DNA sequence: AATCTATTGTTATTATTCTAACAATTTATA
DNA sequence: TATAAATTGTTAGAATAATAACAATAGATT
């Protein structure tokens, strides 16, 4: 029963495969070879084949991959065939942006509730979901079997809130606060650090400007 | 003048170093060793030293690193000491969330304008910046020397809008649309694919649940 | 039915990234 | 001032990841 550990690099690429396959499916493509997919996605065909083979043989020699089948299988690997109950903690623009993102529920993420500290938001609804106050949190998490919390509050409050959420039974946190959360090992954390993304862009712009300067010197 | 190429893996870590150093600075810490930083950040000290040495020797043997100095130097490497003019294209929740993120300007990103197609948003202001219509885009980009556009519109419109932006002179795109943009090589793209992040979380939850099941079997 | 072509699954090779080790050097201590 | 302790910068080695190569196999063609 020895399942070999799949590397993070592979996991990182799976959602992108899933996206491309979804698009192919929508445009009616039935089969695709690793080579065709390779040129669309700008990764090597070799990598595609090796990535997929971590999970078993989804293709057929001489034929390629059946788009629909592969899409479904990757979906299963990613756990998109199961439902997860989610709350959003922090009903600011970012929290509301997430709440309004429709494809969400399509992927099995059911938004059960939205929470905030600001009493002026009490009762306001976003996409049919009413914003609740933090004091309802504990009961709500238990009543609704909430497994995931999207954390969209300022970093100063994030650590404290994360601990509270875990105490109340949340098992995974999708963290948008600009800080790292230190939580028990059995709690899953997926960070979205927008500021870091922006800094990488800044680095690349700077490097690119420098390169152009050097080119002009030669 | 042979500057060795810095690997992407290193660049990815720089913003995180920057964040930790900033926090240390704020709490008044003056010096730090790679070992101390290592235990705070949960990376190896070896990696920290090697990463930093890609850019030159910022530390001193027997002493460690001066926090303020290192912070400043990494800031320079990331290009945070220069200003960049930004527009936000798409004034939905996500666009507004970005506009409202204060630390932004602190890092040298000056939000010059916000644009949308929805005429009902015309004239509405976000953080003192008035929302403009797309027909003003070309003139605005030229008048304000806009280099970066944050693209926060639905994926169906994203490719077309990106091409327009590039045509009008934008040099870099911070892409929040759930699609890959195909643009000329000299245009920089930094993708923030939230749906992929969510799928990774989903994968990890699924895998974790499976592991727990297996443990119970043994 | 036999042969050819396409294309996977898998193994081998190469490249990249990370970690460990240690000599060089600075600061602190006696 | 000499010695010990701390800690970097850098080189060497180990581990991981990516690419290339190719044998196996299915489908297409004659």
Q: Does A104 touch chain B (CB under 8 A)?
A: yes
Rg from Cα positions in chain B:
21
pLDDT digits (tens, 9 = 90+) for B6-35: 999 999 999 999 999 999 999 999 999 999
Alpha carbon distance B70, B76 (integer Å): 10
Q: What ranges make up the beta strands (E) of A80-183?
A: 84-89, 109-116, 125-126, 129-133, 148-151, 172-175
> Cα–chain-centroid distance for residue B217?
44
In chain B, which residues fall in CATH 3.40.50.720?
Answer: 84-196
Contact A178 B202 (CB under 8 A): no
Neighbouring CB atoms inside 10 A of B129's CB total 16
pLDDT at A216: 67
Alpha carbon distance B175, B189 (integer Å): 7
Between the alpha carbon of residue A188 and those of residues A115, A166, A212, B207, the distances in Å are: 20, 10, 43, 11
Task: Reply yes or no on domain B84-196 having CATH 3.40.50.720.
Answer: yes
Chain A hits for B208, CB-CB cut-off 8 Å, are 186, 188
Alpha carbon distance A213, A210 (integer Å): 5
Q: Binding site, residues of A?
A: 90-95
In chain A, which residues fall in CATH 1.10.10.10?
Answer: 8-77
pLDDT digits (tens, 9 = 90+) for A41-94: 999 999 999 999 999 889 999 999 999 999 999 999 999 999 999 999 999 999
Residue B142 in contact with residue B168, Cβ under 8 Å? yes
> Cα–chain-centroid distance for residue B79?
12
User: How confident is the prediction along chain B (218 residues), in pLDDT tens digits per residue?
Assistant: 345 789 999 999 999 999 999 999 999 999 999 999 999 999 999 999 999 999 988 999 999 999 999 999 999 999 999 999 999 999 999 999 999 988 888 999 999 999 999 999 998 999 999 999 999 999 999 999 999 999 999 999 999 999 999 999 999 999 999 999 999 999 999 999 999 999 999 999 998 887 777 776 65
Chain A hits for B82, CB-CB cut-off 8 Å, are 206
CA-nearest of B26, B109, B45, B83 to A179 is B26
Alpha carbon distance A116, A125 (integer Å): 12
> Cα–chain-centroid distance for residue A217?
44
Residue of B8, B198, B216 to mutate, interface with A, max A Cβ within 10 Å: B198
**HEC secondary structure over A91-111:** CCHHHHHHHCCCHHHHCCEEE
Q: Does B84 touch chain A (CB under 8 A)?
A: yes
Q: Does B155 touch chain A (CB under 8 A)?
A: no
Residues 170-189 of B with CB under 7 A from strand D: none
SS3 A189: strand
Q: Does B134 touch chain A (CB under 8 A)?
A: no
Alpha carbon distance A113, A127 (integer Å): 11
Contact A15 B196 (CB under 8 A): yes
CA-nearest of B159, B176, B161 to B99 is B176
> Cα–chain-centroid distance for residue B30?
27
CATH class of segment(s) A8-77: mainly alpha
Alpha carbon distance B80, B73 (integer Å): 10
């Amino acid at each position: 029963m020895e399942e070999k550990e799949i590397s993070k690099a592979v996991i990182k690429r799976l959602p992108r495969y899933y996206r491309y396959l979804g698009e192919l499916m929508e445009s009616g493509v039935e089969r695709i070879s690793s080579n065709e997919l390779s040129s669309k996605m700008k990764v090597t065909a070799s990598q595609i084949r090796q990535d997929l083979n971590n999970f078993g043989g989804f293709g057929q020699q001489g034929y390629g991959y059946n788009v629909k089948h592969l899409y479904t299988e990757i979906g299963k690997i990613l756990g998109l065939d199961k439902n997860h109950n989610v709350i959003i903690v922090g009903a600011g623009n970012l929290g509301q942006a997430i709440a309004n993102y429709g494809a969400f529920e399509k992927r099995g993420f059911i938004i059960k509730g939205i929470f905030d500290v600001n009493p002026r938001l009490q009762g306001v609804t976003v996409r049919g979901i009413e914003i609740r106050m933090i004091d309802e949190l504990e009961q709500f998490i238990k009543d609704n079997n909430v497994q995931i919390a999207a954390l969209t509050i300022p970093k100063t409050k994030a650590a404290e809130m994360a601990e509270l959420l875990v105490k109340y039974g949340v098992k995974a946190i999708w963290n948008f606060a600009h800080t790292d959360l230190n939580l028990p090992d059995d709690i899953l954390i997926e960070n979205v650090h927008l500021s870091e993304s922006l800094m990488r862009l800044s680095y690349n712009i700077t490097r690119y400007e420098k390169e152009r300067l050097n080119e002009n010197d030669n």
